[in-house]
Chain A
Amino acid sequence: MKIPVSVESVAMETNDIKRFRIKHRFNEPLPEIHPGAHILTYLPSNEGVIIRPYSLTNRTTDGRYEIAIKLVQKSRGGSFRWHHSVTVGTELEISFPKNILKPELLGRHHVFYAAGIGITPFLTMLHWCKETGRSFELHYGASIKEECLFYGYLKESFKSETRFYFSRERRKERIDYYCSLQRHPIGTHVYICGPPSFIENIINAAKNLGYPRERIHFEAFRSNQIKTKTSPFKVKIEKKCVPVKEDQVLLDVLNENGLSIPYSCRVGQCGTCEITVKKGDVLHQDSFLTEKEKLSFMLPCVSRGKGLIEIDHNSLNLI
């Protein structure tokens, strides 16, 4: 189910990040959100509808959503469209809010590690921590102060809990993950959002220090395993054989062929779009399935086939 919305305002936050405020097209308040929620945006374009997940940075008291979008240099279409085609009044659709990240209620201490645009899912979580009197801290890395999204807001609202690291300022500073992770008290939950290497480095450091996996939470912008070069392959559904071009996503191809598979994150992290593979080799690019699960299942939002794969039509959980 989708919600019809339009863009109410657009603001330039940094050189390459724009903040969009979205309202319900019929002026109803948009649904309440849990801290850390994201939405899928369905933006019409000449090439079809562009579907992208974005974290909600705020839900205003009058029921508007805010998202912040960074213009990616090698944009696959999403951020480019948002930056160059979307203006006040642009109409689109969004999904209901969903959560991959959410604050753990039983955590004794919450630590947020963000890099660049990775701050976006944390804004509502930081606010929740402050409001409910939780113990928390934020470590936020950016290249320079001017590129640091919500710098003023964070400095004012979470002054004692926030530490900034600027890698290209005169006094160069980077987050020392290992050192930082070493001093968190028992009962700490760690939340990470940023580029794939940033997430991977912190997860590895935390694991090496003996953090239980269940205490480490992250949200990726895209799958950290996606290969830049992809090859075409074919997918067999019942008796039909459908080609998937190198620039196509299997999930989209399945949807175009009448199989409305539910999905959410589109970065291989939530498992919503999981399908059963009957035959063929799969190039797994997700961070959700276990090694054992990968023998039978795949996530078509990021993973691809090699040559020809056959999926189990009977096991599909269609919308």
Chain B
Amino acid sequence: MSWHIVRGKQKYIILYEDYVDITKLVRELCFHRSLLSLINVGEPDQLASILNKELMGTYIYLSLKVKKTREVLSLLYDLGFSPLDLQVVKEESERAIFCAHCHTVFITDDHPHAVCEKCNITLSVTNHWSTFHHAFLGSFEFEGDSL
């Protein structure tokens, strides 16, 4: 898992799922002596009512499986959070890919190539991470192309 520590916030929240290990992240954040709150993501309605009361100066780490991350992100954006207020802790074993051909976002294993689950085109997975789609860009792979 990878993340970077954003300093100077009043409060940090880690949204996590049971089977994702957040020990290292918690340990790092504890050094900063700001308020730290851990929320086990359950029902979206409950989560919305909790996060709706958050104030400016709050920063969220999402340590969730890719599919859940996408669900929670759309909830957070509805509540007024923006990419400036949060960070997705990236899971190394699976990745969300944005298909440059049909614009579908799908989840796949961590491989340099992926086949879009909607249009079946083979994509090269680039390092370009979209904070809007929360996915890596999968670009066309032409014959003889070695991206």
Contact = CB atoms under 8 A, between A and B. Distances in A.
Interface of A: 106, 108-109, 181-188, 206-212, 214-215
B130 interface: no
Interface stretch (B38-46, B65-73, B77-85): B77-85
A210 B9 contact: yes
Contacts of B58: 186, 210
Give the bracket for the number of chain B residues in contact with chain A: 10 to 19
Interface stretch (B49-57, B92-100, B105-113, B133-141): B49-57
B104 interface: no
Contacts of B85: 186, 212
Interface of B: 8-11, 51, 53-59, 79-82, 84-85
**Among the interface residues B8, B55, B56, which one has the most CB atoms of the partner chain A within 10 A?**
B56
B133 to A, nearest CB: 17
Contact of B55 (A184, A208, A212, A215): A184
B54 A186 contact: yes
Contact of B81 (A187, A206, A210): A187
A214 B8 contact: no
Given A187-B79, A210-B8, A210-B9, A182 B55 contact: yes
Q: A-B pairs with the 10 shortest C-beta distances?
A: A187-B80, A108-B80, A210-B57, A210-B9, A212-B84, A209-B57, A186-B54, A184-B56, A210-B10, A186-B80
A186 B81 CA distance: 6
Given A209-B56, A215-B56, 4 more contacts: A206-B56, A209-B10, A210-B8, A210-B57
A183 to B, nearest CB: 6
Contacts of A206: 56
A185 B56 contact: yes
Nearest to B9: A210
A215 B84 contact: yes
A74 B20 CA distance: 63
Nearest to A107: B80
A170 B81 CA distance: 41
Contacts of B51: 186
A188 B8 contact: no
Contacts of B9: 210
A186 B79 CA distance: 8
A206 B57 CA distance: 9
A182 B11 CA distance: 12
Contacts of A181: 56
A228 to B, nearest CB: 33
Nearest to A211: B56
A207 B9 CA distance: 9
A210 B8 CA distance: 5
Contact of A185 (B10, B55, B82): B55
A210 B59 contact: yes
